[in-house]
Amino acid sequence: MQASTNLLEFDLDGLAAFCERLGEKRFRATQLFRWIHQRGASDFAQMSDLAKSLRGKLASCAHVSALPVITQNISQDGTIKWLFDVGAGDAVEAVFIPEDDRGTLCISSQAGCAVGCRFCSTGHQGFSRNLTTGEIVAQLWFAEHFLRRHLGTEERVISNVVMMGMGEPLQNYTQLVPALRTMLDDHGYGLSRRRVTVSTSGVVPMMDRLGADCAVALAVSLHAPNDALRDKLVPLNRKYPLDELMSACQRYLAHAPRDFITFEYCMLDGVNDQPEHARELIALIERYRTDGVWCKLNLIPFNPFPASGLLRSKPQQVTAFAKLLSDAGLVTTVRKTRGDDIDAACGQLAGDVKDRTRVVQRIALQRTVPLQPAVAPHEA
């Protein structure tokens, strides 16, 4: 018997090739793609403008399936966190962050991560596996259509997607790119390139490929102003040191949908948050400036977890650091933490991917607890 294919695995070109194998023209694939991504349909019988014969064919060899939801938590501030089951004891998370003028979904690209950053709980858990395109897209498909039903709207709810959940997206490049294309496609989610952000710890060759293949907004996790410190915090720096990384950022600017790159800098008490680090960071950025503003700094207060042995910088330290950068002319923001009450902040995502027993126990425990009352995110 032919295995059934999850159609979330395909961008529009992939779906067209699939339809062609069924003897169908490309415009049928476009119709199907719109039903799936724009209308959230999964039942072929519902797709009234497709010929009955095609609906029958699809039902026999394809399906449209979300990932099973293990838990859903809604924060007081309207942030929603989903934990999805990706099989074999692995789980990944997506977080929806509502703001006045936009709705951002933060999604995962891998179960675990092989980069192993010192301050990241995903990194501490190690690498389990790459997500498939369908598993990456399923997070958006589910969240968007869940939110529309939840809010009783047919309007788009998610306006921005950030690849800042679990995993290093540029170490899962082959599966990532069709997922990004589905997000950008006018027949899919129609998101602008400026509103889809890939965050990377600095996989230099793949930054160049992304610029050429699918230039979306780029965030680079810098975290340190010199190689000695960055080697310790982000071990990938030993392979792609700062000089190579900063040069790759400059090359990316030629393709970027915005005229700047965002540098993320996680503020760690006494480790990278001193005035001398700020001065070194300013000098580093200055060295690679060609003209005008070419980057923005986003300071992220560290979200502590016990195994890290690290502490969050004190608020006055963050403010002082931000002031030094701003005074030097660098556009600097400090990230607000959201969803604190449901552990939805960066680096706190889906614990225990390796510790399968605990995931299973937690699932059993949480399934007995009813979902929290629905809060309309935009009202929160």
Q: Footprint of ligand SAH on residues 198-227 (CB under 6 A)?
A: 199-201, 221
Nearest to 124 by CA among 310, 370, 324: 310
Nearest to 224 by CA among 278, 260, 184: 278
300 binds, among ligand SAH, ligand SF4, none (CB under 5 to 8 A by kind): ligand SAH
Q: Footprint of ligand SAH on residues 117-146 (CB under 6 A)?
A: 119-120
Which distant-in-sequence residues (6+ apart) come within 8 Å of 249 by Cβ? 207, 218, 220, 261, 288, 295
Indicate the residue among 16 and 94 with the shorter CB distance to ligand SF4: 94
Say if residues 57 and 22 touch (Cβ distance below 8 Å): yes
Give the active site residue among 9, 24, 93, 144: 93
Give the active site residue among 113, 249, 295, 346: 346
303 binds, among ligand SF4, ligand SAH, none (CB under 5 to 8 A by kind): ligand SAH
Under rule CB under 6 A, residue 93 binds ligand SAH: no
Indicate the residue among 32 and 248 with the shorter CB distance to ligand SAH: 248
93 is catalytic: yes
What 3-state class would DSSP assign to 197? strand
- Residues 28/65/198/102 CA torsion (nearest 10 deg): 90
Under rule CB under 6 A, residue 302 binds ligand SAH: yes
Under rule CB under 6 A, residue 347 binds ligand SAH: yes
264 binds, among ligand SF4, ligand SAH, none (CB under 5 to 8 A by kind): ligand SAH
Indicate the residue among 32 and 271 with the shorter CB distance to ligand SAH: 271
Q: What is the CA radius of gyration of the chain?
A: 21
Under rule CB under 6 A, residue 346 binds ligand SAH: yes
Which positions lie near ligand SF4, rule CB under 6 A?
113, 115-117, 120, 122-123, 167-168, 201, 221
346 is catalytic: yes
Q: Give me the DSSP letters along 98-121.
A: EETTEEEEE--SEEE-SS--TT-H
- Rounded to an integer, what distance in angstroms lies between the CA atom of residue 25 and that of residue 16? 7
- Rounded to an integer, what distance in angstroms lies between the CA atom of residue 167 and that of residue 362? 22
Nearest to 222 by CA among 207, 237, 206, 209: 237
Under rule CB under 6 A, residue 303 binds ligand SAH: yes
The strand pair at 261-267 and 295-301 is best described as parallel
For the record, the structure tokens of 346 come out as 């960066």
Judged by CB under 6 A, the stretch of 97-105, 188-196, 275-283, 298-306 that binds ligand SAH is 298-306
Q: Tell me the β-bridge partners of 111.
A: 129
In the set 135, 264, 273, 343, which binds ligand SAH (CB under 6 A)?
Answer: 264
171 binds, among ligand SAH, ligand SF4, none (CB under 5 to 8 A by kind): none
The one-character DSSP state at 48 is T
Could you list the residues that contact ligand SAH (CB under 6 A)?
A: 119-120, 164, 168, 199-201, 221, 264, 266, 300, 302-303, 346-347
Residues carrying an active site annotation = 93, 346
